């Protein structure tokens, strides 16, 4: 990878953040994970033991300064911290729930990107990857989450323009339905149906956290040195297959229906 310094992973104690931190550490990089409920993960990633709330602007600024004092310059940032709210009809959405999701998923992404990215730009090097979602590119009954993730995609583009000539690349990944521990627990409990989650994906399956991690690692590294401002779906072809349901689904061939 291009970064010789530290790679910081928010939300690094679980899910996609943990998978990414483990992959990067296994490849020999100095990785520091932060989380609102910090706990170590298997592998060589270092845990920042203090609570890290991405929505706490002064707290983030203090923590980023302390991490750089302890572990050296942050040359790579993975913004993986996020929350997923409950599915509700619009009339049942409570604004405190809306505000929490937007605070963490969008505002928190900006706060951390700002705190780290300004330092990167001053040094003239760095790469940031924001974890967005295909939910930010589609429609669904998760109104605050879709709005926040759409905002993350647009924020990525704006920050790429802001810092591109100062040596900082900013990109996003948009995972589809990903088999995190939380998702698997919901499937095992019968709260979610794996077949329903995967039936519109062109590849007919869920995404594994390690697959998202591989995409993030590529966007951090020298193989993507001319890439900035993109949003890369990692979704098992969910976006490619979504509209096929209107024609009978991916398991059936079109029968001469008119093309829209």
- Is residue 108, in this structure, part of any structural domain at all? yes
Neighbouring residues of 212: CB distance < 8 A, sequence distance ≥ 6? 16, 19, 20, 131, 173, 175, 178, 234
The encoded tokens of residue 48 equal: 């920042």
The encoded tokens of residue 53 equal: 């709330």
Q: Tell me which residue of 97, 87, 98, 112 sits closest to 12, measured CA to CA.
A: 112
- Domains of the chain: total: 1
The string of pLDDT tens digits covering residues 55-74 is 999 999 999 999 999 999 99
pLDDT of 182 over the 50 cut = yes
- Is residue 250, in this structure, part of any structural domain at all? no
- Is residue 202, in this structure, part of any structural domain at all? no
The encoded tokens of residue 214 equal: 């591989």
- Is residue 256, in this structure, part of any structural domain at all? no
- Is residue 34, in this structure, part of any structural domain at all? yes
- Is residue 190, in this structure, part of any structural domain at all? no
Whole-Å CA distances, 168 to 48, 79, 123: 24, 15, 9
Q: What is the pLDDT of residue 4?
A: 67
Q: Tell me which residue of 178, 212, 20 sits closest to 84, measured CA to CA.
A: 178
The string of pLDDT tens digits covering residues 112-146 is 999 999 999 999 999 999 999 999 999 988 888 99
Can you tell me the distance from the alpha carbon of 39 to that of 43, in angstroms, rounded to the nearest whole number? 13
Domain CATH code at residue 138: 3.40.50.720
Can you tell me the distance from the alpha carbon of 152 to that of 213, in angstroms, rounded to the nearest whole number? 18
- Is residue 243, in this structure, part of any structural domain at all? no
Share of the chain above pLDDT 90, in %: 80
Q: Look at the block and give the residue holding tokens 């910081």.
A: 8
Task: Report DSSP state, residue 207.
Answer: B
Q: What band does 251 get if pLDDT is binned at 50, 70 and 90?
A: confident
Domain that holds residue 134: 6-177+207-238
Task: Report DSSP state, residue 136.
Answer: G
Where on the phi/psi map is residue 236: left (φ > 0), alpha (ψ -120 to 50), or beta?
A: left
Cα dihedral: 126, 130, 131, 135 (round 10): -150
pLDDT of 100 over the 70 cut = yes
- Is residue 50, in this structure, part of any structural domain at all? yes
Q: What pTM was computed for the model?
A: 0.92
Q: What band does 1 get if pLDDT is binned at 50, 70 and 90?
A: very low
Residues taking part in catalysis: 145
**Mean of per-residue pLDDT scores for the chain:** 92
Alpha-carbon 33 to chain mean position: 14
pLDDT of 260 over the 70 cut = no
The string of pLDDT tens digits covering residues 183-242 is 999 899 998 899 999 999 999 999 999 999 999 999 999 999 999 999 999 999 999 999
Q: What is the pLDDT of residue 93?
A: 73
């Amino acid at each position: 990878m291009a970064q010789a310094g530290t790679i910081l992973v928010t939300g690094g104690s679980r899910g996609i953040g943990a998978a990414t931190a483990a992959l990067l550490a296994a490849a020999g990089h100095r990785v520091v994970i932060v989380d609102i409920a910090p706990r170590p993960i298997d592998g060589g990633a270092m845990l920042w033991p203090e609570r890290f709330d991405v929505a706490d602007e002064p707290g983030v600024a203090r923590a980023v300064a302390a991490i750089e004092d302890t572990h050296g310059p942050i040359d790579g940032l993975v913004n993986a911290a996020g929350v997923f709210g409950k599915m509700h009809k619009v009339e049942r959405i409570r604004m405190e729930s809306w505000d929490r999701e937007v605070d963490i998923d969008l505002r928190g992404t900006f706060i951390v990107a700002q705190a780290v990215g300004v330092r990167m730009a001053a040094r003239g090097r760095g790469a940031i990857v924001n974890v967005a979602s295909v939910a930010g590119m589609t429609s669904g009954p998760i109104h605050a989450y879709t709005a926040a993730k759409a905002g993350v995609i647009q924020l990525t583009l704006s920050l790429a323009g802001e810092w591109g000539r100062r040596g900082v690349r900013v990109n996003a990944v948009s995972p589809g339905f990903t088999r995190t521990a939380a998702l698997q627990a919901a499937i095992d409990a019968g709260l979610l149906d794996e077949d329903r989650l995967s039936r519109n994906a062109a590849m007919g399956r869920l995404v594994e956290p390690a697959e998202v991690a591989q995409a993030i690692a590529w966007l951090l590294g020298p193989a993507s040195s001319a890439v900035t401002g993109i949003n890369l779906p990692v979704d098992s072809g969910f976006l490619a297959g979504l509209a096929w349901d209107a024609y009978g689904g991916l398991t059936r061939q079109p029968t001469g229906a008119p093309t829209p």
